[in-house]
Amino acid sequence: MKYASRIAFPRLTGRWGEREAADFIAQTFRSLGYPTETDRFPVWETPWGWIRAGLSLCIVLLITDGSVAPYAPLVASSCSAAPFIILPAMDRLWRRRVSRKTDNRAPLYHSANLIASSPSPHRAFTVYFTAHYDTKSQTLSIRQRIALIVVLIAGMAGFSGVHLAVGLYPGSNALLGVAPVSWVAVVLWVAAIGVGLVLLGMRTENRSPGGLDNAGSVDVLLALAEKFQGRAWKNIQPVFVAVGAQELGLLGSTWLAGRAKTSLDPQRTWILNLDGVGVRGSLRIMEGARMLSLPRSRFARLLQQTATRLDISAKPSRMPPGFLLDHIPFSRAGFTATSLVGVSKKIRHVHTPQDTLDLLEPEGLEETVSLVAATLERLDENPV
């Protein structure tokens, strides 16, 4: 944990802690002999206003649904389903806005991706290793937030489904409960509104030292760079990237993916992101940009096979709702991108002041380094 201990302090994007961590990481890369680029990018706006607008829309539509449901169940069903169309559209608009390179306004601040490249063999297969170094704290932990998001989605979908059934098949109302609106729908409606209000009241602060999220992963990233210092690769080029502004909606990886689209061949590139690692036996393999997607690439299989050989637990896992992982922008850009994620009971401390170095286990960091290093060596033998 020699690297993690050097950045275990609050590192909210735009604050001194983030800059201190970035300076340390860049200096470490250079001290190991890697040509290192500090790729600065602008932060035009934060996602918090967009998130509050989306939650407010959900709450307003749910309240409207409840008032019209006894008289027009199909209208209520349509209103409850509307956020499933509107919110993804807002997400796409947000991503377009934050990925632009110029704006009439001055940026709020700048962040940076720190890129350390190994020597490249002829026609090398490129492997990007990424780990974000910024932090945030919130009034709800990540586990609480994911649970509430699931309840909100289930509540809106369930309320919409109940009233769609009532509107299309009036006789189904008698099966569901007391006319004119079933008790099932009432419970779902109240739960969804309550959860929406709780999420709306959530605040973001700069109080988390970010031990598990994500100093442990940065420690693994730097340990891998140290392990392969001066290594002459036959077929691959490892590139080590410490990513900035992840906690502001994957801004650093979005910027990096846009750059990669113009300089890298997606057929000869793999991105392996590290997030939340550092607890023994907790590794999960995730891929794709959509909620609940499963890892299916040959690289995910290679990771799993290597883990089996080393007697390390690394299981394929679906993408949970509410997880923001830095492989996602690369997946959207057409690259094969995978995240190796630590999922354990300790995740309840993520995004809180209790996310300290004490949550990290040396054995957990060592097994992650061993797994990634062995996978990289196997890939060098057979890159395509």
Q: Tell me the domain boundaries of the chain.
A: 4-44+107-138+206-381, 49-94+141-202
pLDDT per residue as tens digits for the range 283-328? 999 998 888 889 999 999 999 999 999 999 999 999 887 788 999 9
236-265 residues labelled b (16+ CB within 10 A) or e (exposed) = bbbbbbbbbbbbbbbbbbbbbbeebeeebe
Say if residue 120 is exposed, middle or buried (CB neighbours under 10 Å; 0-12, 13-18, 19+).
middle
pLDDT per residue as tens digits for the range 40-85? 999 988 888 888 999 999 899 888 888 887 788 888 888 888 888 8
Please list, in sequence order, all residues whose beta carbon lies within 8 angstroms of the beta carbon of residue 337, skipping any fewer than 6 positions away: 270, 271, 272, 273, 287, 327, 328, 330, 331
pLDDT per residue as tens digits for the range 316-347? 999 887 788 999 999 999 999 999 999 999 98
Residues for the chain: how many in total? 384
For the segment 118-130, the average pLDDT, to the nearest whole number, is 90
Tokens of 96: 């377009």
Count of C-beta atoms within a 10 Å radius of residue 162: 26
pLDDT per residue as tens digits for the range 173-230? 554 444 445 677 778 888 899 999 999 999 999 999 999 999 999 999 999 999 999 8
Largest Cα separation within the chain, whole Å, is 74
**In angstroms, rounded to a whole number, what is the distance separating the alpha carbons of residues 322 and 309?**
32
**In angstroms, rounded to a whole number, what is the distance separating the alpha carbons of residues 21 and 6?**
8
Class of domain 4-44+107-138+206-381: alpha beta
**pTM across the whole model:** 0.91
φ and ψ at residue 336, rounded to 5 degrees:
-80, 115
**In angstroms, rounded to a whole number, what is the distance separating the alpha carbons of residues 255 and 39?**
9
Element spanning 183, H or E: helix 183-200
